[in-house]
Amino acid sequence: MTNFDVNAATLPVALSVGGLVDYIKAVLEDDPTLRQVWVVGDVSSVNHHPKGLFFTLTDPDTGAAMSCVAWRSQQARLTVLPAMGEQVIALGTVKVYPQRSSYQLTVWQVLPGGDGLRALRYRQLKQRLAAEGLFDAEFKRPLPALPQTIAVVSSPQAAAWGDIQRSLGHHHPGLHILFSPATVQGDTAPASIVAAIDRVAADGRAEVLILARGGGASEDLECFDDERVVRAVANCPMPVVTGIGHQRDESLADLAADLCAHTPTAAAIAAVPALTDLVEAHQQRVDTVKALVAEHLLDAQSDVQQLGQRLLLLRLDQRVAQQQVHLKQLQRRLVQGVQVELRQASDRTAALRSHLMTLDPDTVVKRGYALVRDDAEQLVTNAKTVVPGQTLQVQLAQGHLTVQVIEAHPPTA
C-alpha cells in the first residue's frame, strides 16, 4: 500500500459540487455550437408526458445516447413526432440540470431522417409546385394529331433510347427524330436535362418532346424530382411526354408533363399514332363516306319516284291550260282598264288645256287688251300708283310701246 504525503500548502483550491456543476453548465450552454445543433439518431425510447414528449436518440454505430425533450408548447410545430425505431434529425439546444448533474437536448424541430427526409422534401416541393399550378390539368396541352418531328431527351448509353428508336421505327416509320443527349442519373443530371430541353426549344423543329429514362432504384430517379427539371418540363414550348422508370414510378416531372406514359416504350407509342392505325382509320372513313353517299342516293331516287307519281296524279297539263285561260282573261281586263284610263286622262288634259288658254295673258292681249308695266316690271293696275312723267312699258298683241304719263286719273270713290 502506497502512502501519499499530503501537504496542505501544495493542494489546489477545491471546487464544491455545485461550483463544478455550474462550471459545466456554463461551458455547455454558452457554447454557440450547442445552442442550436442538429442531431441525427435512432429513436430508442419515447415517453409521452403531460409536460412534453421525452425521448432518447441513440447512435446505431457507437451506442451513444442522448436524452431529449420536446415541450408540450412546441410539439405542434414539429414536422414529425419521434416514434420508436425511426431515424430522425432533431434541432435543439443542450441544457444542463444541476440537481441531477445531467444534460439533455431541448428540441425545437424534428425532421425525418434518411428516406423519410427525402419523402418530406418531395412532399413539400410537390405541394409548392402544385400551388403554383404546374400540375393543373387545365394547362395540359394536347398532342398534335400527326407530328412530323419528335425530339427525345435521354442518355445515349441508356436502354431507353434504343427502346424508343425501335418503337418509333415499328410504330410510325419515316418519322423525323431529333436526339438531345443528357445525363439522367447523379448530381449533374438536373442541369444536364434542363440544358437538353433548352436545346430542343431553341432548335424549334420538334412538335413533341419525349423525356425518357429506364427503371432503377428510387435514388437513381431523384433527378426527375428536381425543381429545375420540373420547371423546364412545364415551361417547354412544345408538349412533353414522359417515359420515366417503371409503371409504379411517378416523378414530379411526370406530373408536370402534358402526358405521362411511365415507360420509354409507352411514351414513344403515345407520342405519335401508329401508321397502321392511321391507314385503318382512313379506310374506315372512306367506307363511311361511301355508305352515306349510297344511302343519300337511294333516298334521292325514292323521292324522285314519289314526286313522279304525285305529278301523274295532279294532271299538271290540265292545270297549266286552266291557268293560261285565266291569264288571257286577266290580260283582256288589263288592256280594257288601261284604255279607259287613257281616255279619261285625255279628256282631263283637253279640259285643262282649254282652261289654261283662257287664263293666258297673251290670249287676252290678242283680243285687243294691253299689259302695262312700270320700270320694276310690275303690272300697273291702278292709276293711283302712277305719277305724271313716269315711263311705262305697254305690251300689245304684236310688239310693245314705251310711253310717258302726262296725267294720271285715279278712280273716284
Q: Order of strands across the sheet with 391-395?
A: 371-373, 391-395, 400-404
Q: Order of strands across the sheet with 149-154?
A: 176-181, 149-154, 208-213, 240-244, 259-260
pLDDT of residue 1: 47
Grid cell of 247 as nine digits: 409503371
Q: What are phi and psi of 390, to 5 degrees?
A: -75, 140
Q: Would strands 371-373 and 259-260 be described as parallel, antiparallel, or unpaired?
A: unpaired
Q: Which long-range contacts (CB under 8 A, 24 or more apart) does 197-202 make?
A: 197/153, 197/232, 197/233, 197/236, 198/232, 200/151, 200/153, 200/236, 200/238, 201/236, 201/237, 201/238
Rounded Cα–Cα distance for residues 152 and 133 (Å) = 25
Residues 6+ apart with CB under 8 A from 110: 70, 78, 79, 80, 81, 82, 88, 89, 90, 91
Rounded Cα–Cα distance for residues 364 and 361 (Å) = 5
Reduced to 3 states (helix: H, G, I; strand: E, B; else coil), residue 105 is: strand
Are 387 and 405 a contacting pair, CB within 8 Å?
yes
Q: Is domain 9-113 given the CATH code 2.40.50.140 in the classification?
A: yes
Local mean pLDDT, 10-residue blocks, the chain (413 residues): 53 74 85 87 92 92 92 91 89 90 91 71 85 91 90 90 87 88 91 96 94 80 91 95 77 92 88 73 81 88 84 73 88 89 88 77 68 85 84 83 85 71
Rounded Cα–Cα distance for residues 391 and 404 (Å) = 4
Domain boundaries, the chain: 9-113, 147-271, 273-327, 364-404
Q: CA nearest 223: which of 178, 199, 254, 248?
A: 254
Burial of residue 380 (CB within 10 Å: 0-12, 13-18, 19+) is middle
Rounded Cα–Cα distance for residues 54 and 142 (Å) = 55
Residues facing 43 on adjacent strands:
57
What fold does the segment set 147-271 form as a domain? Rossmann fold (3.40.50)
pLDDT of residue 93: 93
Residue with cell 454505430: 61
Q: CA nearest 250: which of 225, 285, 274, 280?
A: 225
Query: Is the pTM higher than 0.75?
Result: no
Rounded Cα–Cα distance for residues 371 and 51 (Å) = 138
Are 92 and 106 a contacting pair, CB within 8 Å?
yes
Element holding 312 (H helix, E strand): helix 275-314
pLDDT of residue 208: 95
Grid cell of 41 as nine digits: 439518431
Rounded Cα–Cα distance for residues 21 and 225 (Å) = 50
pLDDT of residue 45: 93
pLDDT of residue 302: 87
Reduced to 3 states (helix: H, G, I; strand: E, B; else coil), residue 20 is: helix
Q: Would strands 149-154 and 52-58 be described as parallel, antiparallel, or unpaired?
A: unpaired
DSSP string, 28-58: HHT-HHHHSEEEEEEEEEEEEETTEEEEEEE
Grid cell of 234 as nine digits: 412545364
Rounded Cα–Cα distance for residues 168 and 271 (Å) = 9
Rounded Cα–Cα distance for residues 181 and 196 (Å) = 6
Are 393 and 402 a contacting pair, CB within 8 Å?
yes
Residue with cell 451513444: 64
Residues 6+ apart with CB under 8 A from 232: 193, 194, 197, 198
Residue with cell 459540487: 17
* Sign of the alpha-carbon dihedral angle for 151, 156, 162, 163: negative
